Amino acid sequence: MKKIINGKMYNTETAKEVATWSNGYYGSDFRNCTEVLYRKKNGEFFLNGWGGPMSKYREEAYGGGWTNGETIVPLTEEEAKAWVEEHADADTYIELFGEVEE
């Protein structure tokens, strides 16, 4: 997926995938939600997220109601740290942001 946001290109094909999270629902479940964290060559982070009609990625359907949706969300480094803390393991955090105090 490619998207230009605030004059910047976000491209899942050229960025490095660093972590993936899913809420565990099957793709056919209206509640399914998946997010992939990417890091661009310049160090910026972004999420590529998608999900069903009952997920936060839902989109308004033509004629009313909701349908599956997908988007890209740019993240600050602090937002990326928080996402990794919540959705990935400690090794991924250390690889991306360095060691932390015990």
Per the CB < 8 A criterion, the answer to whether 95 and 84 are in contact is no
pLDDT score, position 101 = 87
Query: CA–CA separation, 1 vs 96, rounded Å?
Result: 23
pLDDT higher than 90, residue 96:
yes
- How many structural domains comprise the chain? 1
Give percent above pLDDT 90 in the chain: 94
pLDDT score, position 102 = 83
Per the CB < 8 A criterion, the answer to whether 31 and 38 are in contact is no
Residue 59 included in any domain: yes
**Structural domain of residue 55, as residue ranges?**
2-97
Instruction: Name the packing angle between helices 77-87 and 90-97 (round to 10°).
Output: 160
Residue 102 included in any domain: no
Per-residue pLDDT reduced to its tens digit, 51-71:
999 999 999 999 999 999 999
pLDDT score, position 66 = 95
Residue 58 included in any domain: yes
Query: CA–CA separation, 5 vs 72, rounded Å?
Result: 9
